Amino acid sequence: QVQLVESGGGLVQAGGSLRLSCTASGLTFTNYDMGWFRQAPGKEREFVATITRTRITNYADSVKGRFSISRANARNTVYLQTNNLQPEDTAVYYCAASRTYGSVELNGYDYWGQGTQVTVSS
């Protein structure tokens, strides 16, 4: 059974930082691209960042220069370092795993975590 478990969310003031983590089990981690998506209240879930199994990274324009995705294969874990957070970054952040190389689309991902809340106050 595949499980993705996110952690690291919380409440932070504008300009602050959080490090989100997602640990996977039940799959061969090195065979998967890993991505982060987010969903704000009343909005659709959107792509944030992805890191391929070959460590190629891709970011949404809205987070470029502020967020950084990385992976630790030995720990089956993917990270999202979020810096200079702004109120518009407030959302539930989801980790996802994809067997499709290089996908940034929601339907390209096979497994999802339960999400972790990030709230940024102004």
Distance (Å, whole) CA 76 – CA 53: 12
What integer is the mean pLDDT of 85-113?
A: 96
One-letter amino acid at 1 equals Q
pLDDT band at residue 5 under the 50/70/90 scheme: very high
pLDDT, tens digit (0-9, with 9 covering 90-100), for 64-75:
999 999 999 999
pLDDT band at residue 103 under the 50/70/90 scheme: very high
pLDDT band at residue 41 under the 50/70/90 scheme: very high
Contact 80, 48 (CB under 8 A): yes
pLDDT band at residue 77 under the 50/70/90 scheme: very high
| pLDDT in the model for residue 76 | 98
Distances (CA, A) of 52 to 67, 93, 104, 110: 16, 18, 10, 14
| pLDDT in the model for residue 24 | 98
What integer is the mean pLDDT of 79-102?
A: 97
**SS3 state of residue 122:** coil
